[in-house]
Amino acid sequence: MEQLFLNGILVGLLISLISLSVYPVICLVRFFHFAHAVVIAAGAYFSFLLSRCFGWPMGIAIPLAILLSAGLGCLMEVAVYKPLRKREAKPIVFILASLGLYTVLQNVISLVFGDDTKSIRTGPVREGLNFLGARITPIQIITIVTAIVVVVGLLLFMKYTRLGKAMRTVANDANLARVVGIDSDRVIMWAFAIGSGLAGLAGILMALDTDMTPTMGMRPFMMGIVAMIIGGKDSIIGIVLGALLLAFAQQYGAYYLGSEWQDAIAFAILLIFLLFRPQGFLGKKV
């Protein structure tokens, strides 16, 4: 059972990472940015392009891939969302635009790289290391450590930096933020950059563990959104707790009920929260 617990921690922290990557964006723009799912895949494919096609070392390819993912997110904001905001488009228009972006970019990845599985793993498959009776691979340890660093880093960033405070202000009330002299467009751009960079990082970690396909981003993105709703979208700690609850419910549910119930369990939890605690674990009641 140690293995099941470890799997829960690993999956939960990975969902946390994805959820936290979309957190700055959703808090500020207030619509489900579906195209974020393709940024997760793009991070993995950028690292594949740089390391496998250009032959660059992973130490250079990975940071560059994260920067390129951040750039992709900013490009979406500049080219699509900002003009729509200027025109005061309705929320449904933003959602349709983001779905359109997702479809187009996912097809671009398919066209350029093909639909077959690509790998950026550097060595052969090896047995996992024995850790308290469970098996864990080096990349899974890196994923867990990275996710913890991101959670702590994001907490500190949002609480203590000027930009973090500005993000919280814009998220609370964009008009008020404008009155006190905050350039909300600039803050939103930063939210896209940070969120997309983190999405790229999550994609790379996923690809190092389980390889990559062009559609790899959508399912984890949906789980990230569910975790955010469960945890409460205003709280980083709440999101992490939501992700862990979701992951443990899925892992133990799959073990005791059957793996075909994994998604049903996730959405059943979502429904329960929406009905009985819509603000999530630690979200503020409106």
Where on the chain is the footprint of another protein (CB under 8 A)?
A: 3-4, 7, 11, 107, 110, 114-117, 119, 124-128, 135, 137, 206, 210-211, 213-216, 219, 251, 254-255, 258-260, 262-263
Residue 59 burial (CB < 10 Å; 0-12/13-18/19+)? exposed
Q: CB 185 → another protein: shortest distance, Å?
A: 36
Looking at this protein, which amino acid is placed at residue 86? K
Q: CB 227 → another protein: shortest distance, Å?
A: 16
Pick 18 or 188: Cβ nearer another protein: 18
Pick 15 or 240: Cβ nearer another protein: 15
CA of 44: how far to CAs of 17, 59, 63, 186, in Å? 15, 14, 11, 27
Q: CB 215 → another protein: shortest distance, Å?
A: 6
Pick 88 or 116: Cβ nearer another protein: 116
Residues 219 and 231: their CA atoms lie apart, in Å, by 18
Cα R_g (the chain), whole angstroms: 19
Q: CB 106 → another protein: shortest distance, Å?
A: 9
Pick 136 or 170: Cβ nearer another protein: 136
Residues 22 and 243: their CA atoms lie apart, in Å, by 13
Q: Report phi then psi at 118, rounded to 5.
A: -115, 150
Q: CB 48 → another protein: shortest distance, Å?
A: 13
3-state secondary structure at position 32? coil
Pick 134 or 155: Cβ nearer another protein: 134
